[in-house]
Structure 1
């Protein structure tokens, strides 16, 4: 099998595309986010989701069960609309309006601190432990005595900050202070507790205010709800009485001064008339009486003209339609029209009878039709006459109005020509009239405040529904709280699952790895730490040929064999990875063992100069090996050991050397690989991770193919991309990728497919 594409994706060097190569994308993924993707990750994290959905509702149920029961009682007030009063007292004391804004304002006033203080004092709530924490012995105890009464102090000391923070955060009541509290502070504290439990709502479509109060005692809830309503009504009545007293005192002083002002103004007016000889008839001059009389006639004429024009405009509108004028009021009230209509009706009846007995040209029938046409013509003529009469009335009304206006204009010209005395006279008269009106107004309001009718004393609001003792608690609602916690836990669990899913920086599917690198994934090896700890890979491959790990390694061996071919020059495979502990040594161990069991001569070279582990896996001693061969201390054959259990030939690392890079890149390494190609069917080299040291990059040009191991969901994608890019800078001979430590059960959730190597081995045991 050949490489699918060269890595990284880049433009090929050609003569037609000079210049630097285009940069490759850092990361591309085939991962899509849809409903099935969400279902797969929820299935994958089912235990976490169930744990969250179990713990949170249980904690919620425990917390809600510890809360005290709350009872609610409510009373309702009706804000009265403005009533009719015998006296004009509303000018002195405006009534509460019935609009929504006023009702809302009154509701806010009921919920104010002023009403709350009045209620607290009237009901004696300062001596109630429910509202006054200083009287509650339980709340005065130390938090440690309340929660853990038998715990020692040395155990509670470290928990002091945490528990105090929890109490301060979850408790709605402030911590009690040591020592006596002033009365004013106690009243403010009790009022705060009172307002926290009081709710006042104004109806949107009615003049009704609902007062609702919550308490741990049903009797207290009822008593306080009614007490707030009573306090508001008393406050409203007191405000009205105080306003009446202040208005009466103010008006009494004003009346005395205004009475003297009216007397002085009238005396001054009479003196001016006598001095100037102005004649009055009925309290006004003759010229003014004429103008006034003509103005009255002009107003009447304008009114008559407007009415006539309205009727005439109706005539014009109705004249545009057939028979429209017949619907005029004047037409309908005409006796002539009524008589003609009766004749028309009689003729129509007679014509209908004749049509049932004779032919259309029967003389009596023709005569009746002619009579009907004559009557209809008379009706139209009468209607036209009435319409013409309306037109004439409009003209007459307009002429009359114009004549009256002209007469008034001439009188006004005469009036303007009078002397300055008349102007002064009118000014004095206006002054007298204004003084008299103001005096009468203030006097009337003073009488209204002194002589109050029953409507004044009637309240502007009244209780329409008094609170009763509640029989059942309104909180805590345990069922609702638990149900809400279940839904909330579901959301939190899904959120945690998504966070964990998005926190995975590695590759989850072979498709992601292939698309990101352009290289094929040759195998997915479900390495299981529990299995490999109890049974080494080389024994697992030999003893359990039906296990899922063996099946995956067998597929990898077949793929590598097809990729390298059977030529002598293609027998050396280098196995490396990005970081340590990705399973590359396990892949080498299993791949080499399978090849040896297939009858091939296989040499395994441990070229991990920093952390060699293969000798321990096969139970061999790391006395001499690759280091001694490359330094020339021993011959190649002396550095190779044979494992009779697996049939493998093995070269360990040997002793540690200070310059491993120079040795791996030396001619001795090249000679070792040439000799290995001649003597062995397959040579597998295990090297250090690419991101740690450069050993793998040094050996890469000398091998026939590179097998790159990537750990499932662990190795960061960017690191894998960079490591493969480094290898391709040396030589493009990567055979493919191996996705190791795959959890096939979880991956089946992600991809929606089942893996057939979930098989049982020959012992009937599930090796996966």
Structure 2
């Protein structure tokens, strides 16, 4: 049974890896194209700019040996093919060609100070046939050096091979074109293929190390924090035209998300009623996980039941672009903490939703010290006295300590995790840090879950009775009429 379960998990992991690879292709396909173009351009420039034409002159001949003393009067038939000498050619030719004796002899024959070329020879195994070649940047020098080498070689090799004579088969020729003409098409293709391979490798590494959270079981297995709600993904085409934000006040479409938020409120309200809690902090690992959207819509759901709800924007590092509050956002939390204005001047009530909103205001250079000040503590006591619920929209807790500072003023907290967005270890680190700081975490909200993954759309999935237990008093005063 255990083996079967492990096989199923392996199949699921492989399927996820394939899915991640496909997502990587869709996300980074342009990178592979850019790398292919860059590789092709690099190889083309390297081939063209670094190209130096080299000419090669060749000659083929056989080597004959003689038992005579090699004087001028010796007859030609004294030279013959010797199997012993043929066997020595393969080892002696490279040695003699690289010797200083041959180089000095060629320089003396040509009347030059150096040999403008490189000499090589290829001896056919177990034969006396040799192909000698000279390569040089000058075609004339290539042939001249080859002719000179063939002329002086017998005298230089006489001490090793005895008297020898070359029987010319193919004489040295003047090369008409370089022998190393580059294939720009081939080099460009190699560069392009190398770029594509680098892009594919990057995508594979991206898929392998992605390891984002895509199932609640992945977090349940490593932390005691439980999922209290899964909110479906809301695609842009399902939103009301002209609105960029997801809002449960929009009655057209998004029924799954709307009911999910209201059911989330029921769970949170029941737990907060047990704890006699008023202040709820909502945070996440990083930006873009839907934290502010959950906080705002949860405030809407609370206000639907007739509660006095304040949405407090605790992010003093950047100003939110919000136009929903009545009137211009002249003052915010930062102004109150700096003593620029009173609390009432920073509070705005939204007519459509009925919630109170205190924006963050302009960004501050040292938000941590403001949030940890005595003024902030006094402000929270003041707000507790006039509000039924306070939802603190805290900054992400991965990079800054602001969320941990705001957590001191909260009675409980909820963590938002977006589907397939953040690596598991990063979520775990933030959750562990919040737990160690003494925060009372109710659980986490799994946001942006695709409909196909969660099975949304079934009747009653978000029905209030699905969660069991009694409904807190006052919740159904307006929720029944709006649901």
Q: TM-score range, shorter-chain basis?
A: 0.5 to 0.7
- Does residue 405 of structure 2 align to residue 695 of structure 1? yes
Q: By how many angstroms is 1:671 displaced? A: 8.4
Tell me the SS of whatever aligns to 2:152.
Answer: helix
Q: Which residue of 1 aligns with 2:30?
A: 47
Q: By how many angstroms is 1:718 displaced? A: 5.1
> TM-score, with normalisation over the residues of structure 2?
0.62
Matches within 5 A, 1:382-401: none
Q: Which residue of 2 aligns with 1:708?
A: 416
How far apart in 1 are the matches of 2:127 and 2:18?
Answer: 49
Question: Retained in 1: the 8 A contact 2:117–2:135?
Answer: no
- Does residue 193 of structure 2 align to residue 484 of structure 1? no
Question: Retained in 2: the 8 A contact 1:578–1:709?
Answer: yes
Question: Retained in 2: the 8 A contact 1:576–1:696?
Answer: no
How far apart in 2 are the matches of 1:615 and 1:228?
Answer: 81
Q: Which residue of 2 aligns with 1:76?
A: 60
- Does residue 348 of structure 2 align to residue 644 of structure 1? no
Deviations 1:508-544 (A, max 9, x none): 745766665564483476899xx9xx95526x76669
How far apart in 1 are the matches of 2:174 and 2:455?
Answer: 68
Q: Which runs of 5+ in 2 are unaligned?
A: 1-12, 70-81, 458-483
Q: Which residue of 2 aligns with 1:733?
A: 441
Tell me the SS of whatever aligns to 1:569.
Answer: helix
Q: 2:230 aligns with which of 513, 522, 539?
A: 522
Q: Which has the higher strand share?
A: 2
Deviations 1:183-241 (A, max 9, x none): xxxx45xx4x523xx443444554544323345666655x24xx43652452323553x
How far apart in 2 are the matches of 1:755 and 1:213?
Answer: 76
Q: By how many angstroms is 1:64 displaced? A: 3.3
The verdict on how the C-alpha distance between 1:536 and 1:500 changes in structure 2, with shifts beyond 3 A counting, is: same
Q: Which runs of 5+ in 1 are unaligned?
A: 1-29, 88-94, 127-186, 245-454, 758-768
Deviations 1:322-364 (A, max 9, x none): xxxxxxxxxxxxxxxxxxxxxxxxxxxxxxxxxxxxxxxxxxx
Question: Retained in 2: the 8 A contact 1:626–1:651?
Answer: no
Question: Retained in 1: the 8 A contact 2:319–2:361?
Answer: no
- Does residue 197 of structure 2 align to residue 210 of structure 1? no
- Does residue 111 of structure 2 align to residue 194 of structure 1? no
Aligned-residue CA RMSD (Å) = 5.5
The verdict on how the C-alpha distance between 1:727 and 1:121 changes in structure 2, with shifts beyond 3 A counting, is: same
Tell me the SS of whatever aligns to 2:95.
Answer: helix
Q: By how many angstroms is 1:552 displaced? A: 8.4
Q: By how many angstroms is 1:566 displaced? A: 6.0
Question: Retained in 2: the 8 A contact 1:525–1:552?
Answer: no
Tell me the SS of whatever aligns to 1:736.
Answer: strand
Q: 1:723 aligns with which of 430, 433, 450?
A: 430
How far apart in 2 are the matches of 1:79 and 1:555?
Answer: 97
Question: Retained in 1: the 8 A contact 2:105–2:152?
Answer: no
Q: By how many angstroms is 1:38 displaced? A: 4.5
Question: Retained in 2: the 8 A contact 1:628–1:654?
Answer: no
- Does residue 171 of structure 2 align to residue 466 of structure 1? yes
Q: Which residue of 2 aligns with 1:686?
A: 393
Q: Which residue of 1 aligns with 2:461?
A: none
Matches within 5 A, 1:319-338: none
How far apart in 1 are the matches of 2:358 and 2:120?
Answer: 86
Deviations 1:448-495 (A, max 9, x none): xxxxxxx97552x54443344556654212333233223222233334
The verdict on how the C-alpha distance between 1:456 and 1:54 changes in structure 2, with shifts beyond 3 A counting, is: closer
The verdict on how the C-alpha distance between 1:216 and 1:559 changes in structure 2, with shifts beyond 3 A counting, is: farther
Matches within 5 A, 1:422-441: none
Q: Which has the higher helix share?
A: 1
